[in-house]
Amino acid sequence: MMIRTALLATAFLALPTFGQDNLLDLLGEEETGPVYTTASFKTTRVINSHSLENTAHGVLDFRISHRFGFLSGGVNEFFGLDNADVRLGLDYGISDRLMIGVGRSGFEKTVDGFAKFKLLRQCDDGCGMPITLAVVASSSMTTAPAKDVPWYGPGRQDYFSHRLSYSWQMILGRKFSEGFTMQLMPGVVHRNLVELASDRNDLLNIGVGARAKLTKRLAINAEYFHVLRDPVPLYTNSLSVGFDIETGGHVFQLHFTNSTGMFERAFISETTGRWEDGDIHFGFNISRVFTLHNPKKKPVE
Amino acid sequence: MNEEKKNKRTNMTKLKNIALALAFVPSALIAQERFATRNGHIHFFSGTAVENIEADNNKVTSVFDATSGAIEFAALVKAFEFEKALMQEHFNENYMESNTFPKATFKGKVSGLSAEQAKIPGTYAVEVTGDLTIHGVSKPVTTKGTMTVEAGGVIKAKSEFSVKPEDHGIEIPGVVRKNIAETIKISVDLAYAKM
């Protein structure tokens, strides 16, 4: 009995050494750290609003955003192409989770700045996190003369604090597949000064943004912001649809939007265009990145 | 009678011992001279007049069996590190499609280093032949290299070869054709330890 067992054992001991098909299996499972999902959006903006993407650590992103006039301007305004609003911005990735940026817009001559931090990051492998959660805090200051700012109104004292507005936003998103990403953006815009006593200083809003990839280098994006406020005759909700085209170091975003301004206060609370009336801007964002510092580079051995 | 029984028992014990010894023999006889690493280095370089693109992967796994000459490599595509973050993203998203094809692998044979030689320090010229799988497409590859046997069961291996992206079904669009070389130089550099 013992002999038979021993012989059997012999047979089995010999087997694995001959039958080894994959040598690498001998190493067992690889221990890799968490692999975070990448390329959920082509760039750090969906269209006007922030996407769940950050500028990578050490990368400077120069952004030129441009909105022509309303298509409803007709032939006389060359369908909006005679006018343009521009925002020039510089964003920088302090780490892979934290980015900051500043911008200057022609719209109400506004300077804005923001910080975006990723609290949770969706993982492909190595951790079970199904979503990305980011927070964006931004503020803006108009530098236009008081008489040119619609919400100043006549006879109002021009305090510095009146010129400031803030926005806080939470971005809750997931890359569902290679081709589809969606995010929800609940937030609040605080305006130190508003036009009418009946308008609130704090506006709760919720945005939704999504992108679908058409090809490897072309995606279609859309975003919509619903502002929770009593109907104000002038203002509408922001809706934008556009394409992302990627060519090497650039991303071109071409889109149609009813918002004129390109910072939170402007596009969330001061959108005046109505899609149904043809109040649509054709616009584009161009992003060009520069690697200022490479955190991964190790000294040569 | 008693004597006979005793004898039989002794014989049994002897037989048992032999069988037990046999049980361990195969593993000893074909004790395989195997070497492995988890942190091999692969570097690739694409040089054109427009720009040079290069990346490093320091987490390459490989097992080399000196007895049979079999060798295998696996490199996680996402573990290639570029100077520019955007390049790395495009490499993964647009060219290698690393979500669909997470690993590049090689499976083949080494000739020029026998199991006996793997115990004797020295540098040996070797030839490696096998299948290279990148982007889900396999291609036969033959290349030359060196294996340096060092004391303590360490073997250092080096090799260089080139691959064409188009051979592995990697499309390069017209706009960036001038930025990416037709043949990419790959250098492999690893230090195996005895398993």
Percent of chain A with pLDDT over 70: 90
Q: Are A281 and A49 in contact (CB under 8 A)?
A: no
pLDDT value of residue A232? 76
- Asked whether the beta carbons of B42 and B57 are under 8 A apart, the reply is yes
What is the interface pTM, i.e. ipTM, of the complex? 0.74
Partner A contacted by B178 (CB < 8 A):
no
Q: What are phi and psi of A32, to 5 degrees?
A: -110, 150
The span from the CA of B56 to the CA of B187, in Å, is 10
Output the pLDDT for position A298. Answer: 54
Report pLDDT for A300. Answer: 47
Which amino acid appears at position A63 of this protein? Answer: R
CATH homologous superfamily of B33-194 equals Lipid/polyisoprenoid-binding, YceI-like (2.40.128.110)
The Cα–Cα gap between A62 and A82 comes to: 25
pLDDT higher than threshold 50 for residue A64: yes
pLDDT of residue B111: 92
Kindly state the average pLDDT of the residues B62-78.
93
pLDDT at A297: 61
Selected residue of B86, B92, B110, B171 to mutate for chain A interface (largest A Cβ count, 10 A)? B86
- Angle at which helices B2-29 and A2-19 cross, to 10°: 10
Tens-digit pLDDT profile for residues A227-268: 998 777 788 999 999 999 988 778 899 999 999 999 999 999
- For residue A15, the model assigns a pLDDT of 46
A109 Cα to chain B: minimum distance (Å): 32
pLDDT tens-digit map of B180-193: 999 999 999 999 99
Calculate mean pLDDT across residues B1-24.
61
Give yes or no for residue B2 having a pLDDT over 70: no
Is the pLDDT score of A34 beyond 80?
yes
Using one digit for the tens of pLDDT, what is the confidence trace for A190-237?
999 988 877 889 999 999 999 999 998 899 999 999 999 877 778 899
Domain edges within chain A: 35-291
Task: Provide the b/e sequence for B174-195 (b: ≥16 CB within 10 Å).
Answer: eebeebbbeebebbbbbebeeb
Q: How confident is the model at residue B173 (pLDDT cuts 50, 70, 90)?
A: confident
CB pairs under 8 A between A and B: 100
Between residues A298 and A164, the one the model is more confident about: A164
- Closest chain B residue to A2 measured between Cα atoms? B16
Mean pLDDT of all residues in B76-82: 92
* Mean of per-residue pLDDT scores for chain A: 87
Ramachandran angles phi, psi of B61, nearest 5°:
-100, 145
- A35-291 under CATH 2.40.160.40, yes or no: yes
Task: Burial-class residue B158 by CB neighbours within 10 Å (0-12, 13-18, 19+).
Answer: middle
> What's the pTM?
0.80
Name which of A1, A4, A5, A10 to mutate to probe chain B: the one with the most chain B Cβ atoms within 10 A of its Cβ. Answer: A10
Mean pLDDT to the nearest integer, A79-91: 89
Tell me the residue ranges of DSSP E strands in A14-125.
Answer: 35-36, 59-70, 84-93, 98-105, 110-120, 123-125
B72 with A57: Cβ contact below 8 A: no
What residues in B contact A35, CB-CB < 8 Å?
Answer: 78
Distance CA B31, CA B35 (A): 12
Give the nearest chain A residue to B60 (CA atoms): A30
C-alpha to C-alpha distance for A178 and A192, rounded to whole angstroms: 42
Asked if A2 and B16 come within 8 Å (Cβ–Cβ), the reply is yes
For the record, the structure tokens of B107 come out as: 């499976």
Q: Mark yes or no for CB contact B94/A216 under 8 Å.
A: yes
